[in-house]
Amino acid sequence: MMRTVSIFALVLVITATDTRAGWKDVDACAARLSGDSRLIYDRVKPKMVLGDRPGNEARITSTVKEMVSKDEIAFLGVRGKAKRAVACLQKATS
């Protein structure tokens, strides 16, 4: 239950901002990520579809849940790590 609540909160982050930029700006932002945040970014980016906000939210949530369930990233602190990755990905979503 706690994981679902945390992941749901992550999805809210992506809906909070409506910015537009090309993938070049997104990749420049991602270059500053490290550790699990970079891993989340690398896993989610190929699944992103420009202009498909609802679909992207679902893709982000399911990817992060899957990564946690497979112990690829630790649940502890996942929200903050995902927020950093999503902050970069938001630059491409509109």
How does the average pLDDT of the chain come out, rounded? Answer: 79
Residue range 23-58, pLDDT digits in tens: 788 889 999 998 999 999 999 988 888 777 788 888
Q: Is the pTM of this model over 0.75?
A: no
Please provide the DSSP assignment of the chain as one string. Answer: -HHHHHHHHHHHHHHS------HHHHHHHHTT--HHHHHHHHHHGGG--TT-HHHHHHHHHHHHHHHHHTTSS-STTHHHHHHHHHHHHGGG--
